[in-house]
Structure formats: C-alpha cells, structure tokens
Amino acid sequence: MLVLFIRSILIYIVVLIVMRLMGKREIGQLQPFELVISIMIADLAVTPISNSGIPITNGIMPILGLLVMNLLISIGNMKSLKIRQLISGKPSILIYRGKIDEKVMRKERFTINELQERLRDKNVMNLGDVEYAILETGGQINVIQKPNKRGTIPEDFNMEPDYEGISYDLVVDGIIMYDNLSILGKDYKWLKTQVKKFGYKPEEALIVTIDGKGQFFCQKKEIS
C-alpha cells in the first residue's frame, strides 16, 4: 500500500513537470498534436500506478519520450510553415463577408446549430451581425462583426486614451513582492510609506497593487 502511494506521488511529479515543460495552454486551445500527447501521457501515467508489478521506469520513460516528441514538433512548427500546416492545419473561414460557407462547414463537420452556439459564446446572438467567423486550428472560433454592429472604441471618436500599462502586485497575503518593487525601481521603504497612508503596514495587507497610472488598491487582512 505504501509502495503504491509513493509510486503515485512520483508519477504525479513527473507528469506535472512534463506538462509544465509543454507550456501554458488552456485545454480548448491545445493543438491536435498537443491534445493527443496529453491524452497519451494521462493513459501512460495510470498503468504504473495501478499495477505495482510494472517497474515505475516503464511508465516514466514513455512519458519522457512523449515530452521529447512534443518539443521536437513544437520546434518544427516554429521553424517551418509547411510542418506547421501539416501538423496543426490552417484556420477555416466559416462565415465570409456575412455569408455562411457551406462547403467549409461540411468539410469541418460543423452544423448550423453548433455554429450558432459558438457565436452565442462570443455574445453574438444574430448570424446576420457576423462579417467573418474563423475556426482556428485549436478549435475555438473568432468572430468579426459587421461594422455597424461592433462596439465603439475611442478611435471612432478621434480620442486618444491615456496609457494605462499593467498592474503590479506589491503585496500578496502579507508577502512583499520584491521582484515587482525592483521592476518599478522602488524599495520596501517606499512601499511602507505608501501603505501607511491606508492606516497599516505592508505585512498586514491582504493585497496591494499599483496600476500604470500610479493608483493603489489596498485591502487589509481580516485574519492575521
């Protein structure tokens, strides 16, 4: 029983490391080859866990082999357009200039109902509002609405919004984010002065952030 417990932990650690090395992707955004490898890794991981008679290396080595295969295919994708198209395919335009392309729909085995469902996921309730609908290689659909149906943006009114930048966490659950302070060219003394304006110390904060305009958001921890 103890052996099975230890084997499970070891396999879990190996799979976790392999998946991290494969990169950050949402499940719905996996390329076909990445999805296949992920499924195979899951299947290979179960075998040495459920059968203690199989050497644990018999489960780890194939998983590492799939990792190497994934890395090689990824490198090939980056280096060659032909390999990229062969492995990952090309995007398909389901709606072109407001008209549904039935040939492409049949080729991709997409029904009208499924297309409508995907459009609703994008908050598009009317097929007539769509100028282009593109089925990406990862399976998600991107939609470009007709000009008169798109939301307005500042550029439509010849406005130039102020630069906002990104927000940085300075304190998370009482822990000082020194790396972010360094990026901003600040130190703990500066942080302490800023947080003191809110009536407490950085270590007492649940969260402290600063945005691109220099505005702070602070909240004190209720439970110390």
- Phi first, then psi: give them for residue 186, nearest 5 degrees: -115, 170
Instruction: Give 28's pLDDT tier (boundaries 50, 70, 90).
Output: low
- Phi first, then psi: give them for residue 219, nearest 5 degrees: -145, 130
Which domains can be identified in the chain, with CATH numbers?
2-86 (no CATH), 92-149 (3.30.240.20), 168-220 (3.30.240.20)
The sign of the torsion formed by the CA atoms of 156, 157, 161, 167 equals negative
112-156 pLDDT, tens digit per residue, is 889 999 999 988 888 889 999 999 887 889 999 998 887 777 777
- Residue 146 contacts residue 129 (beta carbons within 8 Å): yes
Residue type, 194: Q
91-120 pLDDT, tens digit per residue, is 899 999 999 999 999 998 888 889 999 999
Predicted confidence at residue 143, as pLDDT, reads: 93
- Residue 207 contacts residue 221 (beta carbons within 8 Å): no
